[in-house]
Structure 1
């Protein structure tokens, strides 16, 4: 299963108890299903488990619906529906309204205890939510064609400490989270604490890997820099030797040249410690530049000869 499916499975493992939380969960299914009006309520889903979850929470809330399987086996769609007139009347008696309102808005009176909002949000995610594999990117979102519903949902989440963002996409409304910490909290709040922990562990791994990559890149850059600087000096030393000029250098420069050839891979700071007594990094750098300058002058003279 995908990470999103794992999250939904974890949520489905926690059916809310009979009472106000079951009503809140059923209300979440109704609001974020495909249809919810005076003709009834319909939820479409590709997962039979979600349809069964919807049927269960509606039954716990006192409303009976039916599950239908649509389409061929390789593209099966499951539908949970409340279409019986008596059950529709019970449903609106629980949720308030008549189903003829021009815009669906969240009825906050549904939420009777501190866990009702969690049950509502969890059911909403089962019906309309998705989460991207966190190994690729951090993104959790809810989709709905109902603008007023998404705005009310955003306000509800903000009232419980979350900071969602909203946008429009292909004619629909999207409420989403991009911050990993918010997604972790959201998963925990919806009852998917195992998935939240998995995301946290993955984030730690990614942070460690990125840090290791930065260190490696930095070390590689430093090595390249050392090799480049060392190579330039060694080329100068070799040119001086080939032209019989190395032995004419002052003793301090000859000793520096010998040390550089002996330890071609050492950075200047460590190379300076090989002298007796040790030199300063700046002092050794000055000697190396002097050797390079002498070689450059000799080369120019030979070219002009």
Structure 2
């Protein structure tokens, strides 16, 4: 099971206790998944479709709770390809009392059920805002596994719905971005902290903990890799410097002889020949008396200047 499916399964099991929150969540689900279709006998129906069975069950339960006077039907479209998910449909055929039943959800019925209008309901309470975001994610959202690139998105065709989702996210100090993908609008979050906050807002606490656990391991692994890369780069630099300095000292030895050098320069020259891989700090500690990194570097720079003069003399 993917991380996104696991998160949706957890959200689908959350049933709001308050009537207003149930209305808010179902409103978002209808806004995401609801369409008007003609049934086999030609009568229009409001149809909510989803590939996730747990989400479809939640839509059905919410409809049964909120629309006690209406007939609710369920259908399944089976895909011939085994790798494809079935599509689950919750249908509300046009019927008596439908106009009154759907009005609290911001839905208007026109043309004998042939057309449905949708307006977002008032979301003043925080609990309803949480429920609305949960419904929007269940209807058209996905989140990448934290092992990869951090990304959470909610896709909708409706500009008003996209704007409402952004406004509700912003009420929880989230910073959503919006992009266009063909005929869809994509509301998305890219930062890991923002995704964690979203999962907390919608009540997906198990998914949140799983996300955080993986993120901690991932961040630690990246930190270790950076340290290893840094150490490797420093080691390579030390070795390259050592090889260059050994060649420089051998040139001085061939031209004038190390014995003619001042004692401090002669001492560090012999140590560098013996320990070409040693760092400046390590070389400084080998001297008698020991000197610091800057002291060792100063002596080697003197040798380098001397070698450069010898090269220029030919």
TM-score in terms of structure 1 length: 0.86
Question: Is 2:105 the partner of 1:91?
Answer: no
Bigger mean CA offset, 238-247 vs 153-162: 238-247
How much does 1:105 deviate?
Answer: 2.5
Paired position in structure 2 for 1:68: 75
Paired position in structure 2 for 1:43: 48
**C-alpha distance in structure 1 between counterparts of 2:58 and 2:250, whole Å:** 80
How much does 1:215 deviate?
Answer: 1.9
Question: Is 2:136 the partner of 1:124?
Answer: yes
Q: Is the 8 A contact 2:108 2:116 kept in 1?
A: no
Question: Is 2:183 the partner of 1:168?
Answer: no
**C-alpha distance in structure 2 between counterparts of 1:48 and 1:154, whole Å:** 27
Bigger mean CA offset, 282-291 vs 128-137: 282-291
How much does 1:82 deviate?
Answer: 1.1
Question: Is 2:234 the partner of 1:222?
Answer: yes
**C-alpha distance in structure 2 between counterparts of 1:298 and 1:96, whole Å:** 89
Aligned CA distance change for structure 1 residues 84 and 104 (closer, same or farther; 3 Å): closer
**C-alpha distance in structure 2 between counterparts of 1:103 and 1:41, whole Å:** 11
**C-alpha distance in structure 1 between counterparts of 2:136 and 2:292, whole Å:** 68
How much does 1:185 deviate?
Answer: 1.2
SS of equivalent to 1:99 = strand
Aligned CA distance change for structure 1 residues 78 and 239 (closer, same or farther; 3 Å): same
Question: Is 2:281 the partner of 1:269?
Answer: yes
Paired position in structure 1 for 2:15: 15
Q: 2:118 aligns with which of 104, 124, 135?
A: 104
**C-alpha distance in structure 2 between counterparts of 1:102 and 1:54, whole Å:** 18
SS of equivalent to 1:163 = coil
SS of equivalent to 1:85 = coil
Aligned CA distance change for structure 1 residues 60 and 288 (closer, same or farther; 3 Å): same
Matched residue count: 300
Q: Deviations over 1:137-190 (max 9, x none)?
A: 121111111112211232233234332222222121121112222211111111
Q: 2:299 aligns with which of 266, 287, 297?
A: 287
Bigger mean CA offset, 291-300 vs 178-187: 291-300
Question: Is 2:53 the partner of 1:56?
Answer: no
Paired position in structure 2 for 1:250: 262
What is the RMSD computed on CA atoms of the aligned residues?
Answer: 2.8
SS of equivalent to 1:115 = helix
**C-alpha distance in structure 1 between counterparts of 2:257 and 2:179, whole Å:** 74
Q: Is the 8 A contact 1:272 1:279 kept in 2?
A: yes
Unaligned 5+ runs, structure 1 = none
SS of equivalent to 2:180 = strand
